[in-house]
Amino acid sequence: MPRTYVKAVHVGYKRSKVVHYPHTSLLKLEGCNTRKATNFYVGKRVAYVYKGEKKDLKGSTTRYIWGKITRPHGNSGLVRAKFKRNLPPRSFGAPVRVMLFPSNI
Amino acid sequence: MAKNVLVKGVPRHSKSSQYRRKGLQYIKNKTTTPKKSIVNKNGGKWYSTVDISGRKLAKKGRGTAVLRKSITKGTVLILLAGRHVGKRVIFLKQLPSGLLLVTGPYHINGVPLRRVDQAYVIATSTKVDLKGVSLPDDFSEELVCRPKAKTVGGKSEKAFFATKKKGRHAFPKPTDARIAASKAVDAQVLERVNKVPYLKEYLARGFSLDNGDYPHLMQF
């Protein structure tokens, strides 16, 4: 399978000094180091891919949590993303796939 | 107040949840007679002093999606999702439903005549001259749809409780008419592709990101 997604890392949740906001996750995209560069990715779909124990109907143990990139976060190329279900804390540092769709090129 | 839109193009609430929130399920079937506009009864010379209330007339369904400017007849597209992810295909035309009709051609990269949504496609700057390429006369969008499973009168009790088989879904086989249409179109497209040096090789080669490839810096 060709890779048609950009690699990203789940850095953590949106937060203030003390409080975490798990409904929004922060992602660091590969090769994306400025706020301007994040423009391309806003609105794109994101998938956190992990393995579960039980097989699904297709016989696969791979599971997905889908989300969307909502906006840039700060000036160094981080983005905020919202997921259908909040990402679990054990996904901190884990790879996340940033799809190239919905495309506007 | 919470914003209704997270960012341009990303609404906070999905269409279906908005439907519930507004309680539209309760007023869906209510028939109201919209008040007639009295703004221009006097030939548009002045505005009426009476406020006009009443519900706006509902729009008649949605129109078809507007085609992106970058996509024109003969544009080479990169597919971003689905069975043929990463393959380069040729755009033929926009169908009445708004979906794009594309072909590989099948002989080159295995993509038959099929439909894709423009959201799942990257338009490249490569274009093939498709002047004179025409679809068969009997072509209709239903031809390239996936045939719907027959569920007349609902499933039988036995079929309903039958456990689904594990493994990949069996895709329905394409109809003969569809194969014929695909062949007829591909023959014309191939002829034009072969005229351009290296185009065949380009279409045969898939698109894939490698380490150090960043799509936000790419010129497609």
- Beta strands (DSSP E) in A1-105 are 5-15, 20-29, 45-51, 62-73, 78-83, 95-99
Q: What residue has token string 């490839």?
A: B213
Contact at CB, B68 and A55, closer than 8 angstroms: no
Identify the H or E element spanning B50: none
Structure tokens at B66: 């507007």
Residue B21 has a pLDDT of 79
* CATH code where residue A60 lies: 2.40.10.190
- Dihedral angle sign, alpha carbons of residues A98, A102, A103, B3: negative
Residue-range definition of the domain harbouring residue A28: 5-99
Which residues in chain A touch residue B85, judged by CB atoms under 8 angstroms apart?
1-2, 4
By the 8 A CB rule, do B220 and A105 touch?
yes
Residue B146 has a pLDDT of 79
By the 8 A CB rule, do A41 and A78 touch?
no
- Dihedral angle sign, alpha carbons of residues B170, A3, A52, A45: negative
DSSP β-bridge partners for residue B214:
none
**Rg (chain B; Cα; Å):** 25
User: Is residue A104 in a domain?
Assistant: no
**What is the count of structural domains for chain A?**
1
Q: What residue has token string 């406020």?
A: B51
Residue B89 has a pLDDT of 97
B102 vs B205: CA distance, rounded Å: 17
Q: Which of A40, A43, A57 sits opposite B10 (nearest CB)?
A: A43
> How distant is the alpha carbon of residue B105 from its chain centre?
19
- pLDDT, one tens digit per residue, over B33-65 is 555 555 555 566 666 666 666 666 666 677 788
By the 8 A CB rule, do B214 and A6 touch?
yes
- What is the mean pLDDT of each successive set of 10 residues along chain B, which is 220 residues long? 71 81 71 54 63 65 85 96 95 94 94 95 96 90 78 61 57 85 95 95 95 94
By the 8 A CB rule, do B77 and B88 touch?
yes
Domains located in chain B, CATH noted: 75-209 (2.30.30)
User: Is residue A92 in a domain?
Assistant: yes
Counting residues of chain A whose pLDDT is more than 70, the rounded percentage is 100
Contact at CB, B86 and A31, closer than 8 angstroms: no
- Please determine, for residue A31, whether its predicted confidence score (pLDDT) is greater than 70: yes
User: Is residue A19 in a domain?
Assistant: yes
ipTM score for this prediction: 0.91
Contact at CB, A101 and B80, closer than 8 angstroms: yes
Residues 6+ apart with CB under 8 A from A79: A26, A27, A29, A32, A38, A41, A42, A69, A70, A71, A72, A73
- pLDDT, one tens digit per residue, over A36-72 is 999 999 999 999 999 999 998 888 999 999 999 999 9
By the 8 A CB rule, do B118 and B130 touch?
no
User: Is residue A105 in a domain?
Assistant: no
B151 vs A34: CA distance, rounded Å: 53
Contact at CB, A31 and B70, closer than 8 angstroms: no
DSSP character string of B131-146: TT----TT--GGGGSP
Q: Which of B81, B169, B216 sits opposite A101 (nearest CB)?
A: B81
User: Is residue A55 in a domain?
Assistant: yes
- Dihedral angle sign, alpha carbons of residues A11, A12, A16, A21: positive
Residue A1 has a pLDDT of 85
Nearest-CA residue of chain A relative to B66?
Answer: A104
Residues 6+ apart with CB under 8 A from B138: B177, B181
Contact at CB, A39 and B216, closer than 8 angstroms: yes
